[in-house]
Amino acid sequence: MSVAVLAGDPYDEALIAQVHPRDWVNPTPAPWYNLVVLGAGTAGLVAAGGAAQLGARVALVEEDLMGGDCLNVGCVPSKALIHSARAAWALREAEAAGILVDRSAWRVEGRAVFERLRRLRASIAPHDSARRFADWGVDVFLGRGRFTGPDRLEVNGATLRFRRAVLATGAGPRPFEVPGADRVEILTNHTVFALTELPPRLVIVGGGPIGCELAQAFARLGSKVTLVGRGPRLLSRDDPEAADLVAAALRRDGVALRLGSRIERIESPNGLTKRLTIRHEHGDQTETIDAEAILAAVGRAPRVEGIGLEAAGVAFDPVRGAIVDDYLRTTNRAIFAAGDVASPDKFTHAAEAQARLVIRNALFAPWGLGMGRASRLVIPHCTYTDPEVAQVGLTEGEAIARGFKLRVLVHEFAEVDRSVVEDETAGFVKLIAAARGDRILGATIVGRHAGELVGTVTLALTKGLGLATLSRLIVPYPTRSDALRQAAGVAEQAFLFSPGVHRWTRRWLSWVRG
């Protein structure tokens, strides 16, 4: 298995019993299937389960752990770790809320943190279990699947023939190509959650969402963390102001940032300590950093090699993944692809939305009639640092690059009463709107619970609702969601309180009084 699990651990054993039972017996293949799904991560599970419940004859093939990255090495374990880290941070910050805490009376127990993570992961595993999908009528095959032709796939010597297929093999950690890295243990998201203790010193390579989230979490739990990033700033896909706030938060929590830097080599002088030599591109200086653990978070590569895509007539690129059109069809029109193997948006919710689209396009759009387009999906994303960074639609920079004339409407959380009384004022709501009319092009939200707040703007973009609708939204007081209404209302207030409107209303009211 590519996912690291702890032998003999009761929680990891419970996980495996659900998502890759050791005693599982593959069924006898049907003569043909309406849909064969290769890969049982989010996209594969949604496609297989949804199609089976709609009456299709479905086979699902998985070599590793069902549930994919999200359950096993992504969303679920990382958010469990982040919760523990926030609990530790809250204790340290309790005095600011008038709560006196004896710091000598509590400590972070790394073994208990990781045990809790594994326990919660195992408790969620039944949702993605082999037995659950078999009970829905899916033929679940555990083993390495490989296309052997344009309409067939082989797993453990059995041939599965299909009318349609879904490629949903996901993505894995991108190779970490640094001199010396092959001679020391390098953690990835596939192995870091199998730790049983907190490393005293940890170097994280990569300034994207995974790197930022785990850097802050480990630092709050007590590790001495250094984050090394090639780019000049964190979170290169997000708003620069948002990235600056995250950088400030990481520094506040003790993370040492080494941005605009590259690792020249890694060595282990004593077999235990790992030593990195990094070069700072600004100033061309070198620095050595010692640590007990190194975590590579340098991106993810689609899983397209060794699964017979050539035999199936499916074009692919090792970086972009499977090549698909706007209907998520590959170059073999009988094979669709969804999720991380084909999408630049490598998020669980994006994979789920694409899988639902694939069910429609593959099974319920005869002769291509009524097919849905992936480009019409409105997909937000969120980085779960503290503060969180949520984004939907275009950023300000992207909108300018596309030639839009803009209005940028900002409301700071420092001006939101709920944020003030909870001492969580860092962040803002930024709405990107067209210069004329009230069309919303995108939004960036930075702050506590930003991932929850962005759903409102996602709904507005999905339904074509504009600033006027958001500005007149009635929300409970006091909540952070009021920042959305206030930001949208900036444009309306600018019009209503303009000198021209002011003169008109004075004349009107004078006439009415008369």
CATH of domain 10-173+301-376: 3.50.50.60
Widest CA span in the chain? 93
Q: Over range 146-173, report the average pLDDT.
A: 97
Token pair for residue 122? 């195992």
- Mean pLDDT, the chain, whole residue set: 94
Q: Does residue 442 have a known ligand-binding role?
A: no
Identity of the amino acid at 73: V
Q: Does residue 340 have a known ligand-binding role?
A: yes
Work out the pLDDT band at 138, boundaries 50, 70, 90: very high
Tell me what pLDDT residue 394 has.
Answer: 97
CATH of domain 181-298: 3.50.50.60
Q: Distance between CA atoms of 209 and 391, rounded to whole angstroms?
A: 12
Higher pLDDT among residues 495 and 308, named by residue: 308
Residues facing 296 on adjacent strands: 205
Fold identical between 10-173+301-376 and 387-496? no
Residues 187 and 210 sit within 8 Å (Cβ to Cβ): no
Work out the pLDDT band at 183, boundaries 50, 70, 90: very high
Q: Over range 77-88, report the average pLDDT.
A: 97
Token pair for residue 292? 């007990």
Q: Over range 188-207, report the average pLDDT.
A: 96
Q: Does residue 75 have a known ligand-binding role?
A: no
Residue 495 pLDDT greater than 60, yes or no: no
Work out the pLDDT band at 169, boundaries 50, 70, 90: very high
Give the whole-number percent of the chain exceeding pLDDT 90: 87
Decide if domain 387-496 falls under CATH 3.40.50.1820: no
Residue 264 pLDDT greater than 90, yes or no: yes
Residue 504 pLDDT greater than 80, yes or no: no
Distinct helix (H) and strand (E) counts, the chain: 16, 23
Q: Does residue 135 have a known ligand-binding role?
A: no
Residue 508 pLDDT greater than 90, yes or no: no
Q: Distance between CA atoms of 399 and 132, rounded to whole angstroms?
A: 44
Domain boundaries of the chain, sorted by first residue? 10-173+301-376, 181-298, 387-496
Q: Over range 93-115, report the average pLDDT.
A: 89
Q: Over range 166-186, report the average pLDDT.
A: 94
Residue 194 pLDDT greater than 80, yes or no: yes
Q: Does residue 368 have a known ligand-binding role?
A: no
User: Which three-class secondary structure state does DSSP give residue 382?
Assistant: strand
Identity of the amino acid at 451: G
Q: Does residue 145 have a known ligand-binding role?
A: yes
Q: Which of 175, 139, 478, 473 is nearest to 297 (CA)?
A: 175
Q: Does residue 346 have a known ligand-binding role?
A: no
Tell me what pLDDT residue 127 has.
Answer: 97
Residue 507 pLDDT greater than 60, yes or no: yes
Q: Give the Å distances, CA to CA, from 480 to 20, 340, 408, 447, 449.
A: 42, 32, 19, 9, 8
Could you give the strand order of the β-sheet that contains 256-259, starting from the edge strand earlier in sequence?
A: 256-259, 224-229, 201-205, 293-296
Give 178's contacts (C-beta < 8 A, 6+ positions apart). 263, 264, 265, 266
Tell me what pLDDT residue 501 has.
Answer: 63
Q: Over range 172-194, report the average pLDDT.
A: 94
Work out the pLDDT band at 5, boundaries 50, 70, 90: confident
Q: Over range 476-505, report the average pLDDT.
A: 77
Higher pLDDT among residues 98 and 358, named by residue: 358
Q: Does residue 210 have a known ligand-binding role?
A: yes
Tell me what pLDDT residue 188 has.
Answer: 95
Tell me what pLDDT residue 281 has.
Answer: 83
For every residue of 92-124, which 3-state class applies, written as one string?
HCHHHHCCCCCHHHCCCCHHHHHHHHHHHHHHH
Residue 134 pLDDT greater than 60, yes or no: yes
User: How does strand 293-296 pair with strand 428-434?
Assistant: unpaired
Tell me what pLDDT residue 502 has.
Answer: 62
Give the whole-number percent of the chain exceeding pLDDT 70: 97
Please tell me the least confidently modeled range out of 78-87, 323-332, 352-361, 365-374.
365-374
Predicted confidence (pLDDT) per residue in 359-406, tens digit: 999 999 988 899 999 999 999 999 999 999 999 999 999 999 999 999
Predicted confidence (pLDDT) per residue in 434-446, tens digit: 999 899 999 999 9
Q: Taking each helix axis from N to C terminus, what angle separates 75-92 and 209-221, rounded to the nearest 10 degrees?
A: 40
| pTM for this entry | 0.94
Q: Does residue 397 have a known ligand-binding role?
A: no
Work out the pLDDT band at 2, boundaries 50, 70, 90: confident
User: Which three-class secondary structure state does DSSP give residue 288?
Assistant: strand
Tell me what pLDDT residue 513 has.
Answer: 66
Predicted confidence (pLDDT) per residue in 50-77, tens digit: 999 999 999 999 999 999 999 999 999 9
Tell me what pLDDT residue 208 has.
Answer: 96
In 180-229, which ranges are E strands? 201-205, 224-229
Tell me what pLDDT residue 100 has.
Answer: 86
Q: Distance between CA atoms of 476 and 480, rounded to whole angstroms?
A: 9
Q: Give the Å distances, CA to CA, from 369 to 35, 163, 285, 360, 363.
A: 19, 17, 60, 10, 11
Q: Does residue 212 have a known ligand-binding role?
A: yes
In 143-199, which ranges are E strands? 145-149, 152-155, 158-167, 171-173
